[in-house]
Chain A
């Protein structure tokens, strides 16, 4: 806006802004390029063939994954991941709210839930394979049964820790149960819930990869393991890179959603800190 309203006075300030942009760009991209350059140089001179140069990997990324492999391996993986995340978030929040609201239910289930959370999620894969066979359902069930615990337990904790003054205020104003749930309990719990979802996301991604590395004939995890067994080094690296990109994509989307959901919360924190 200011650039249009004050074109003349902008001279030195504009240059300063430019300089700031350039400097932050340099800061943001300097180290990655330096590292990639060093890696590239090293890989051209060393005989170690397990670390191909970044350019080779980039080429392999385009050759391997653009085309039918995207439809056959990447999309099914992402589809299972998405279903797993949606189901575990929905069920986790719903069940967590109910359990968090009733004290006896919470005390009844808490030790049990803590134990389930403590089980390393990947050991659920052998159980899933035993109960459901090597199917898509098994993979989704495994993702859900691993990712749900942090969401569930954090929701319980968040709902339980609703500010008592606010609860009493809501009661004395005779706000209905549903309104109280929607306008008080869930917003109050949302920072904890989002922290749980963040943990759940990384568990879900891990389970997506591992469930495919085990008995499976398609999917990202399967492809990467296949490339490794056949010594297709650059292709394997491109798969790792692609998984990394999926991870970053998830983190970015989550960051956006979190900022939207917790806008009020971050605002309060800012004010408190200032």
Chain B
């Protein structure tokens, strides 16, 4: 076996390989229309898409649409998280409630939230509220289920100890339940953030409220393939950013935790 390369060398190799992969992909993308495998009408050149991307980034209208999408995302995520934390904590702490709500939760959770799009449109029309219904419904379950698991996961010995030391309900909540449930909550939050973004853009595509999703759909129906691919790339970058930020928050808030055990639950 050869001598192990140092850690820095290894991470350099990793970055280099990763960049090679990306460049290779872009090259293949450029070659497919160039060789005529797919007409540029359907799969435009990478270079054209990149130019359009830069144009969009300089356009105020683009940023406004992006702002609308992210507003719906943020409101939906906040509402869903708050509701899920409150309800999840109550249900998780009371065994009776946990048993009584089990079937209802297991029935409602698998319903694909996009199935509610027609209902939301009937109720609110082509507005952000319709999108919010769907975002909240989808994001809520991600957090809710994790909070219930987390709250119920309190170590039995620790709980009995706290009780015998006469900790009040509030003290037990902040010193015992919260630290136990936090890793679960963070996992739920990260999943919910990703799901909320997916549904914010989906809702705009299907319902037609203003935002990035609607722009994608409009450029498709207008036959503007270059613009469509540019926007798809934008949504991908958004997804990456959301993932990255929430992973960071997760790591930050769990710095004290010996293991990031929430990772396994996802």
CB of B228 closer than 8 Å to a CB of A: yes
Q: Is the CB of B18 within 8 A of A247?
A: no
Residues from chain B with a CB closer than 8 A to the CB of A28 are 102-103
Q: CB within 8 Å of B: which of A94-133? A: 104, 107-112, 114-127, 129-131
Q: Is the CB of A240 within 8 A of B111?
A: yes
Complex Cα–Cα for A221 and B112 (A) = 11
Residues from chain B with a CB closer than 8 A to the CB of A115 are 236, 240
CB of A214 closer than 8 Å to a CB of B: yes
Q: Is the CB of A210 within 8 A of B206?
A: yes
Return the chain A residue nearest B43 by Cβ.
Answer: A131
Counting chain A CB atoms within 10 Å of each CB, the highest count among B100, B123, B264 belongs to B100
In the complex, which of the residues B42, B99, B106, B217 contacts A27, with contact meaning CB atoms closer than 8 Å? Answer: B99
Counting chain B CB atoms within 10 Å of each CB, the highest count among A24, A127, A195 belongs to A127
Q: Is the CB of B115 within 8 A of A244?
A: yes
Q: Is the CB of A31 within 8 A of B101?
A: yes
If the complex has contacts A107-B18, A108-B20, A109-B21, are A120 and B112 also in contact, measured as CB distance less than 8 A?
Answer: no
In the complex, which of the residues B104, B107, B202 contacts A244, with contact meaning CB atoms closer than 8 Å? Answer: B107
In the complex, which of the residues A110, A130, A243, A251 contacts B225, with contact meaning CB atoms closer than 8 Å? Answer: A130
CB of A225 closer than 8 Å to a CB of B: yes
- Bitwise interface map of B from 35 to 48 toward A, beta carbon under 8 Å scored 1, else 0: 00010001100000
Minimum CB–CB distance from B149 to chain A (whole Å) comes to 13
CB of B116 closer than 8 Å to a CB of A: yes
Q: Is the CB of B235 within 8 A of A119?
A: yes
If the complex has contacts A30-B100, A32-B104, A236-B118, are A114 and B240 also in contact, measured as CB distance less than 8 A?
Answer: yes
Q: CB within 8 Å of B: which of A210-259? A: 210, 213-214, 221, 224-225, 227-228, 233, 236-237, 239-240, 243-244, 247-248, 250-251
Q: Is the CB of B110 within 8 A of A247?
A: yes
Residues from chain A with a CB closer than 8 A to the CB of B236 are 115-116, 118-119
- Bitwise interface map of B from 235 to 259 toward A, beta carbon under 8 Å scored 1, else 0: 1111110110000000000000000
Residues from chain A with a CB closer than 8 A to the CB of B25 are 112
If the complex has contacts A30-B100, A107-B13, are A120 and B117 also in contact, measured as CB distance less than 8 A?
Answer: no
Interface size on A, residues (CB 8 A): 58
If the complex has contacts A32-B107, A107-B13, A247-B112, are A123 and B205 also in contact, measured as CB distance less than 8 A?
Answer: yes
Minimum CB–CB distance from A99 to chain B (whole Å) comes to 11
CB of B51 closer than 8 Å to a CB of A: no
Q: Is the CB of A251 within 8 A of B110?
A: yes
Complex Cα–Cα for A238 and B240 (A) = 37
Q: Is the CB of B111 within 8 A of A110?
A: no
Complex Cα–Cα for A209 and B205 (A) = 13
If the complex has contacts A236-B118, A236-B119, are A210 and B202 also in contact, measured as CB distance less than 8 A?
Answer: yes
Minimum CB–CB distance from A263 to chain B (whole Å) comes to 18
Complex Cα–Cα for A139 and B127 (A) = 27
Q: Is the CB of A108 within 8 A of B17?
A: yes
Q: CB within 8 Å of A: which of B112-132? A: 112-119, 121-123
Residues from chain B with a CB closer than 8 A to the CB of A127 are 228-229, 232
CB of A148 closer than 8 Å to a CB of B: no
CB of A69 closer than 8 Å to a CB of B: no
Beyond A28-B102, A107-B17, A125-B205, 19 additional pairs, beta carbon < 8 A? A35-B104, A111-B19, A112-B18, A116-B236, A118-B237, A121-B198, A123-B235, A126-B216, A126-B220, A127-B228, A130-B220, A209-B114, A209-B115, A225-B118, A227-B118, A240-B116, A244-B110, A248-B107, A251-B106
